[in-house]
Amino acid sequence: MKRKNFIKKSALLASSGFLFPGFSSLSKVNGVLGSNETINIGTIGLNSMGWWNTKSLLRIPKVNLVAICDVDNRVLEKRKAEMDNQGVKVKTFRDYRNLLEDKDIDAVVIGTPDHWHALMMIHAAEAGKHVYCEKPIGNSIGECRLMVDAQNRYGNVVQVGQWQRSQNHFQEAVNYLKTGVIGPIRTVKTWCYFGSVRPNPIIPNSSAPKELDYKRWLGPAKIRPFNKSRLHFNFRWFWDYAGGLMTDWGVHLIDFALIGMQASLPKTVVSLGGKFAYPNLAQETPDTLTALYEFDQFNLIWDSAMGIDNGPYGRRHGIAFIGDYATLVLNRNGWEVIEESGNENKVAKPLVKSSDNGLDKHTQNFIEAIRSNDPLKVKCTIKEGEHVATIAQMGNISYRSGDKLQWDFSKNKFSDNKINSKYYTSEYHNGYQLKLT
């Protein structure tokens, strides 16, 4: 499609509220950027991690913010004012497609609710942009697969925001595991206990704020009456937009369980949980969840709880590799080894504290990969993000279906086609389509 006609069609689709793939006129990744050239970024989704990621990128020399986009004009104007106060003039957009049309932009940050990640990442790849995408990369297994396909097709640099992969002590702990000193590992526990995180009370539906383009916020999700309990941070607790603590924190912690065990996909998964603590509050995802994954040589456990902090080993979050001789416990604050009582094989008991800023190192790595024009240089590729997001989704699907699920490795899907039909990929609504052009 010629560029003039594409812009005309995009404007027509934007005005009608529909979105179709169609960035074919821009499907070549921007040229190689040398170490002395400025990398211009645009950010889509300006609350929470989207903005934290942006500020981290702006601490890197020769990285410039040129455009921001959000469907909530209150957030958009707030961030614009912040940049104005720093003497930085940015373009503002309500529609991310218009931002992707800007030829001055080399890379985009995607910090929206999860149900938008797939479309935006695929369209950014088609538009020739490099991408820093918040985790989890998609809101379903099928979405994640298409995102990997897009990166493979267009060759852009994609960094997934699992920034612990850039933090020194996480890698040090994995290297320690490789020595085998804690003995054969039979169980890996991962957990997240968050006392400060509670769902909102149930409130009546209302009209959306005039500053919010609610129809565009919903995007491919089902049309529902506006309810404030679903907006901004709280989108995490509703299946249309996200997957609860399992996908919000599970992808961080399960990721390093998989790295430590050099594991692929589990043979089976079963999840149990519910709204045990807050049955009368506004949420769909469970406030309490335990998932058990069966691998060939070990079991992996995910355990999450909202509203309480007293997690295993006295830590709110973490990963515990339980070996015959000792247990290695790892989280964002550091790691330590706890020797098995009565063990004859004496094990050194290191206590290592975190000493670096993982997010800043992760965004720096992203920029280095862009300058090197090397998609494999990033610490968390889209394929690696897809791997852990798939496993997190498997746990949620077992909970939602109420079934113990088996994975068919030959078909790369569940063995139960009814489960695949209902849960494998997200259903898109309102004229939005998920496919590569």
Which of left, alpha, beta for 275 (phi over 0: left; psi -120 to 50: alpha)?
beta
The residues that bridge with 408 in the sheet, in sequence order, are: 413
Domain ranges of the chain: 3-164+362-382, 168-355+389-423
Q: Are 17 and 82 in contact (CB under 8 A)?
A: no
pLDDT band at 29 (very low <50, low <70, confident <90, very high): low
Predicted local distance difference test score (pLDDT) of residue 54? 98
Distance, CA of 312 to CA of 59 (rounded, Å): 36
Cβ contact 103:25 at 8 Å: no
Residue 25 confidence class, pLDDT cut points 50, 70, 90: very low
> Count of CB atoms within 10 A of residue 200's CB?
17
* CATH 3.40.50.720 describes domain 3-164+362-382: yes
C-alpha gyration radius of the chain = 22
Of all residues in the chain, the percent with pLDDT exceeding 90 is 87
H or E element: which one contains 331?
strand 326-331
Place of tokens 């709880």: 305
pLDDT at 201 > cutoff 50? yes
**Residue 87 near residue 75, CB atoms below 8 Å:** no
Token code pair at residue 355 = 């000493």
Complete edge-to-edge strand list for the sheet that includes strand 39-44: 91-93, 63-69, 39-44, 107-110, 130-133, 158-160
- Residue 136, preceding peptide bond in cis (omega within 30° of 0): yes
> What tokens appear for 367 in the block?
């920029």
State pLDDT tens for residues 376-423: 999 999 999 999 999 999 999 999 999 999 999 999 999 999 999 999
Q: Which CATH class is domain 168-355+389-423?
A: alpha beta
Determine the pLDDT at residue 349: 81
Residue 292's DSSP bridge partners are 270, 301
Strand ranges (E), 147-298: 158-160, 185-194, 200-201, 268-274, 281-282, 288-294
Backbone φ and ψ for 225, nearest 5 degrees, come out as -60, 150
Residue 9 scores a pLDDT above 70: no
Does the global pTM surpass 0.95? no
**Residue 379 burial (C-beta neighbours within 10 Å; 0-12, 13-18, 19+):** buried
Q: Given this model, what pLDDT does residue 5 score?
A: 41
Give the DSSP letter of residue 67.
E
The DSSP symbol for 353 reads E
CA neighbor of 244 nearest in space, from 109, 102, 114:
114
Distance set, CA 258 to CA 147, 377, 431 (Å): 21, 20, 37
pLDDT confidence tier of residue 234, bands split at 50, 70 and 90: very high
pLDDT at 140: 97
